Homo-oligomer: A and B are copies of this chain.
Amino acid sequence: MELKKVFEQRRSVNFFDTTKKIDLRLFERIYDVAKFCPSSFNLQPWRMIVITVPKNKKKLKEAALNQPKVEEASLMLIVLADTRGFEEMDKIFDDMLEKGYQQEEAREGLKGFARMLYDNPVASRGFALRNASLFAMSFMLAAKNFGVDTHPMDGFEQDRVKKAFNIPDRYEVSMLIAVGFHNKKKVLLERLNRKSFKEVMIKEGFKTGRRE
């Protein structure tokens, strides 16, 4: 599908067709497009838990303010941001070396650089959330390209979701994504406004003394 059409047609769908399932092979095809998104040093610090079993959906729903779409969607994704993902630099470096991005002499320097950038609680969280969100956006667009609808959700209890699915401390739940097919009996309302270019854009920096 044309990229522009995908952007225009992707909507956060609240009502899913509960009769439709998503084949895991289709899910993999979506992943195989989404995976091309960029990440810091290509570290890809994200995982995704796929929830399809009814009793797990129910558990997730209870941790997500009882929002009905958690059970109505074909599947639920728990997108995890890996705050320790920067520790995988050796593996990334091997790939860089093989493809001519780096020379072996640079290995320890680059690993040290990644630690310098990310190895503290504030920075590692920022690193993880930024990158996992780049992936999440790519995933939602790739899904729409295959006719699959999504709804990103951040209304959930972090600790409760982590406990319910045995998620190790190193991960922060970045968001949930409901995945499925829009229930066509429920008409989508007109899209909400987007800010204009002028509202969002600032030329060359804030003026001194300007209050925001």
Chain A residues within CB distance 8 Å of chain B: 1-4, 6-8, 10, 12, 28, 31-38, 40, 42, 44, 46-53, 56, 92, 95-96, 99-101, 113, 117, 125-127, 129-131, 133-134, 136-138, 140-142, 145, 152, 154-155, 164-168, 170-172, 174-175, 189-195, 197, 200-208, 210-212
Contacts and interface: CB of A to CB of B under 8 A. Distances in A.
Contacts of A34: 7
Contact of A206 (B12, B168, B206): B168
Given A12-B38, A50-B204, A7 B142 contact: yes
Nearest to A169: B212
B166 A154 contact: no
B202 A37 contact: no
A170 B44 CA distance: 28
Given A92-B192, A197-B32, A167 B205 contact: yes
B202 A48 contact: yes
A56 B138 contact: no
B38 A140 contact: yes
What is the copy number of this chain in the assembly? Answer: 2
A16 to B, nearest CB: 16
A6 B145 CA distance: 12
A42 B151 CA distance: 12
A48 to B, nearest CB: 6
Contacts of A211: 168
A37 B154 contact: no
B7 A207 contact: no
List 9 A-B pairs, minimum CB-CB distance, nearest first: A165-B205, A133-B133, A137-B137, A166-B206, A168-B212, A35-B194, A134-B137, A42-B192, A3-B145
Contacts of A125: 125-126
Contacts of A190: 99-100
Contacts of A3: 1-3, 6, 33, 141-142, 145
A61 B170 CA distance: 32
B205 A31 contact: no
10 contacts: A2-B3, A7-B37, A35-B200, A44-B195, A47-B201, A49-B204, A49-B205, A51-B204, A99-B189, A125-B125
